[in-house]
Structure 1
Amino acid sequence: MILKKYMVAANTQVQLTDYSTRVDDRPNDSELTNELIPNSVERLKELHWRLYAESKTGIVVVLQALDAGGKDEAISYIFSNLNAQGLKTNAFQKPSDTEKKHDYLWRMHDLLPERGQVGILNRSHYEEVIAPRIHDLLGEEVLPDEVDQEKVWEMRYRQINDYELYLKENGFEVIKFFFNVSKEKQRDRLLERLKDPKKNWEFSFSDVEERQYWDDYQKIFEEMITHTSTDVSPWYILPADDEWYSRYIISSVMIDVLERIDPQYPTFSEEEQERIDEAIQMLENE
């Protein structure tokens, strides 16, 4: 797989219509589900154990999409296989009253992973440049008097880029996935949630209500990715109509990043090894 096909290079003007929501030239479902994805998950598990054992670097994974885009399923099929102690999963919710009293990135700190952990953000700080624009909520926020509201989004893009650079420079990689789902496929998935009693719990009436803003969302997503896909933290645009292949892309990107980090299991010093040898001998002689 050529991962760069799905990675948005810095300074690219993004048009989502240029990115397919599904891939025809790909391995068949049987090969994906029985071989490629299980093998990639096993490799990911090994690298994740090394990351956790070394505890020098952390990884922040951003999953951004419209409802029924496939975020929850990616977490279930890929990330739930990892060492639970080295995994932190958060769903980004509407800000609380306390959070509204702080800057918009303040609440991110409690959501971030520790060194050695992979932190999953099911939606993320990027909601702060999406929802307020769709629903005209900026007026509810407290902004300094000198801030020009016409330029607040450009300012936030710059601040988010600076924030992700800050994380990178302090040992935390940021990997960002956008689930590019078609309107037709989203409709089919929402209907499935409504008609299947086992999936009713996944449905929210707001999912249907938000569809009326479809074109607005697409425009904002394009602008967001255009301004925040950087060399430090690029976006990957997934063909999200194809759930299995999207999961394979996610696991492959994760493996690529972890192999570049190349975490190692800690080793003993000579003094520690001598004590280990003594402990082994003592236990074997019991």
Structure 2
Amino acid sequence: MKDNFIETYKVTAPITLKDVETKVVIKKSDKKLNKIREDLGKLQDTMYAHDKYSVLVCLQGMDTAGKDSLIREVFKEFNVRGVVVHSFKVPTELELGHDFLWRHYIALPEHGKFGVFNRTHYENVLVTRVHPEYILNENLPTVNSVEDVNEAFWDSRFEQINNFEKHIASNGTIIFKFFLNLSKEEQKYRLLRRLEKQEKNWKFSAGDLKERQLWDQYQNCYEDVLNRTSKPHAPWYIIPADDKDTSRYIVAKIMYDTLIKYTDIEEPELDDKIKANLELYKEQLINE
């Protein structure tokens, strides 16, 4: 397989999720990842010096899809100052006192940095769509009961998310959205592994099994998300996630191949005066 993944995995037309593959195995993908993550780390250093673009990486997927380990492996060669990871859990009381996008706005990466959202603003049209009663916790003036959480409500929320991404993209944020497409069979294997291996027991939650029973509902919601919010400025990529090494490599390669197209990203040149006196500055240091 040719390692050119942008068009292969980008959502550019309506998709039916059950027809999309969940397993691809690329030989030596772990070794290929070693090289590409080094290149990404160097590129981020340049972006930090350039100080005009930020990068937002959004990761979504069912439980056990491999989001945590992907973050660990893909960003291993980054300078710690250059990447910030946010794991969004159940909204706190403070967060519920604001609009649903507020906690994501304040977590956006500054110019020159990467921000990784481990679960994202899309939880607000995924988990809440499967469990619409959660919307009542937001205490919205237009929602007094679950009956008010209707299709018009979701249409509005999708529009708000699309506007949010359009706004930050137009202000210099490069957006990557990755859906880690895991099969139900592979999830079963990974959940069993959590139960069987003592060192992984802490990852298991009985709630995982309850949510697994809602698998088809979640898949329908993901399909709707992918079809309604994949835009040229904020595309979705559906990443086959049954093989972790391959999924990590594909994600890293898509990011790198996209970012190197920004030919204006380069380290700033030294001030002419400083450049002209480099030897003088060296001499001063040597002779001090």
TM-score tier (shorter)? over 0.9
Match for residue 276 of structure 2?
274
Question: How far does residue 234 in structure 1 lie from its aligned partner after superposition?
Answer: 0.6
Residues 12-21 or 111-120, more deviating: 12-21
What letter matches 2:26 in structure 1?
A: P
Alignment of 1:90 onto 2:91: no
Structure 1 runs, 4 residues or longer, greater than 4 Å off: none
- Counterpart-to-counterpart distance in 2, 1:138 and 1:27: 41
* 8 Å Cα contact 1:185-1:241 kept in structure 2: yes
- Counterpart-to-counterpart distance in 1, 2:212 and 2:30: 31
- State how 1:23-172 maps to structure 2 within 5 Å: 23=24, 26-28=25-27, 31-34=28-31, 36-136=32-132, 137-145=134-142, 149-150=149-150, 151-172=152-173
Percent identity (aligned): 37
Residues 198-207 or 122-131, more deviating: 198-207
- Counterpart-to-counterpart distance in 2, 1:284 and 1:7: 54
Q: Deviations over 1:114-153 (max 9, x none)?
A: 1111001000100011111112222333334399642111
* 8 Å Cα contact 1:14-1:223 kept in structure 2: no
Q: How many residues align?
A: 279
- Counterpart-to-counterpart distance in 2, 1:257 and 1:163: 21
SS in 1 for 2:23: coil
- Counterpart-to-counterpart distance in 2, 1:144 and 1:274: 64
Match for residue 251 of structure 1?
252
- Counterpart-to-counterpart distance in 2, 1:109 and 1:276: 42
- Counterpart-to-counterpart distance in 2, 1:285 and 1:81: 36
* 8 Å Cα contact 1:59-1:113 kept in structure 2: yes
SS in 1 for 2:106: helix
SS in 2 for 1:261: coil
Question: How far does residue 277 in structure 1 lie from its aligned partner after superposition?
Answer: 3.2
* 8 Å Cα contact 1:88-1:118 kept in structure 2: yes
Match for residue 213 of structure 2?
212
Aligned-pair Cα RMSD in Å:
1.7
Match for residue 242 of structure 1?
243
Unaligned residue ranges in structure 2 (runs of 5+) = none
* 8 Å Cα contact 1:89-1:119 kept in structure 2: yes
Question: How far does residue 275 in structure 1 lie from its aligned partner after superposition?
Answer: 4.3
**Taking structure 2 as the reference length, what is the TM-score of the superposition?**
0.92
Question: How far does residue 2 in structure 1 lie from its aligned partner after superposition?
Answer: 2.8
SS in 1 for 2:190: helix
* 8 Å Cα contact 1:90-1:122 kept in structure 2: yes
- Counterpart-to-counterpart distance in 1, 2:149 and 2:218: 20
Match for residue 224 of structure 1?
225
Cα 1:140–1:283 change in 2 (3 A) is closer
Unaligned residue ranges in structure 1 (runs of 5+) = none
What letter matches 1:126 in structure 2?
A: Y
SS in 2 for 1:156: helix
